[in-house]
């Protein structure tokens, strides 16, 4: 708890603003890493695929939260409560899990941008500590859970088919971009 207090109180105001803007997040949060030209509406197969991946990750995370029922830091220390407060449990972090699931999938789709994509997901998770929504262990657990989720997803024929379609859609757009 002391670490959450220290991190929350020391968080730069711009990080706090970004954290609150990430209440709802999607593939668009990865634009700085992928490129601002990558918009889900321009890539409908990829957008749908990534949305479905995120939804599956959210379901898994919600089930884990209901199992562990760890109170959020601001529930333990009300002085940490700011902004609109979640009513769900803390462990594992949904933002950390879902953003890392998206990052791992996007890193497979854009391998040359892997490091930047993973860094973006890590920041999304860490921002949640900065606004006292999670303990650092919630964030780390989310990252580990994300790896397990993606590993299981990759075994699914539906995932493999949809991943291949997204990969082909992106490759086709890159060919058009290079020819212009």
Question: Is it the case that residue 33 has pLDDT exceeding 60?
Answer: yes
Check residue 52 and report its DSSP letter.
Answer: H
Per-residue model confidence (pLDDT) at position 43:
87
pLDDT band at residue 77 under the 50/70/90 scheme:
very high
Tell me the pTM. 0.91
Query: What is the per-residue pLDDT across 125-153, written as a single tens digit (0 to 9) for each?
Result: 999 999 999 999 999 999 999 999 999 99
């Amino acid at each position: 708890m002391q670490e959450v207090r220290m991190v929350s109180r020391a968080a730069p105001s711009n990080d706090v603003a970004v954290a609150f803007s990430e209440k709802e997040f999607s593939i668009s949060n990865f634009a700085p890493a992928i490129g601002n030209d990558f918009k889900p509406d321009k890539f409908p197969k990829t957008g749908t695929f990534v949305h479905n991946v995120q939804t599956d990750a959210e379901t898994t995370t919600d089930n884990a939260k209901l199992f562990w029922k760890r109170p959020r830091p601001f529930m333990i220390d009300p002085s940490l409560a700011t902004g609109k407060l979640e009513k769900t449990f803390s462990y594992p972090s949904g933002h950390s899990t879902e953003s890392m699931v998206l990052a791992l999938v996007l890193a497979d789709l854009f391998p040359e941008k892997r490091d930047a994509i993973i860094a973006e997901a890590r920041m999304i998770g860490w921002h949640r500590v900065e606004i006292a929504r999670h303990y650092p262990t919630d964030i780390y657990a989310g990252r580990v859970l994300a790896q397990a989720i993606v590993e299981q997803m990759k075994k699914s024929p539906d995932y493999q088919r949809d991943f291949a379609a997204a990969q082909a859609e992106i490759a086709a757009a890159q060919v058009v971009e290079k020819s212009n």
